[in-house]
C-alpha cells in the first residue's frame, strides 16, 4: 500500500520567508509525528497529533514553528521568518495509534530537505 508521502522533496528559501511543508500519512493511521534531522545530529521530535486530541507541541523549537492537521489526515508544518539554523530534513511519520495505549511502529516519509539561504 501507499506509504507516508511528503512534499516538496526539496525547498530552498531565503532567510525571513515563510515555508509550508506537507505530509500525507498512511491511510487509517491516527497518529502523526513531525521530526527534524539536522546534519550531524539525530532525529529530533517536533510535534505529535493523535486523532482529534490537542497536539503535543512540546518539541517545537520556537514560536516560529506551527503545525496543523486537517480532518485527521493531512498535516502541514509551517515555519515563519525562516532562519539559517532551520536548514534540515523535516520528516513526517505516522502510526496506527499513539498515546499510552501501546507501542506502534512509526513509518516515515522520505522527508523534505529545507535549505535557508
Partner 1 sequence: EDQVTQSPEALRLQEGESSSLNCSYTVSGLRGLFWYRQDPGKGPEFLFTLYSAGEEKEKERLKATLTKKESFLHITAPKPEDSATYLCAVQASNDYKLSFGAGTTVTVRA
| Chain residues that interact with partner 1, rule: CB under 8 A | 4, 31, 33, 35, 41-43, 45, 48, 50, 56, 59, 91, 93, 98-100, 103, 105-111
Minimum CB distance to partner 1, residue 64 (Å): 21
Measured CA to CA in angstroms, residue 98 lies from 50, 56, 94, 104 at distances of 6, 12, 9, 7
Contact 85, 36 (CB under 8 A): no
Helix (H, G, I), strand (E, B) or coil at 47: strand
The smaller minimum CB distance to partner 1, of residues 70 and 103, is found at 103
The smaller minimum CB distance to partner 1, of residues 63 and 105, is found at 105
Q: How far apart are alpha carbons 45 and 62 in whole angstroms? A: 13
Minimum CB distance to partner 1, residue 81 (Å): 26
The smaller minimum CB distance to partner 1, of residues 80 and 104, is found at 104
Amino acid at each position: 500500500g501507499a506509504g507516508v508521502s511528503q512534499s516538496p522533496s526539496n525547498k530552498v528559501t531565503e532567510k525571513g520567508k515563510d515555508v509550508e511543508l506537507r505530509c500525507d500519512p498512511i491511510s487509517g493511521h491516527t497518529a502523526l509525528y513531525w521530526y527534524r534531522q539536522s546534519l550531524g545530529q539525530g532525529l529530533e521530535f517536533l510535534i505529535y497529533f493523535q486523532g482529534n486530541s490537542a497536539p503535543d507541541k512540546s518539541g517545537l523549537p520556537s514560536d516560529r514553528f506551527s503545525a496543523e492537521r486537517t480532518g485527521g489526515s493531512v498535516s502541514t508544518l509551517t515555519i515563519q521568518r525562516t532562519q539559517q539554523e532551520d536548514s534540515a530534513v523535516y520528516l513526517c511519520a505516522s502510526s496506527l495509534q499513539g498515546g499510552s495505549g501501546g507501542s506502534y511502529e512509526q513509518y516515515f516519509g522520505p522527508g523534505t530537505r529545507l535549505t535557508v539561504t
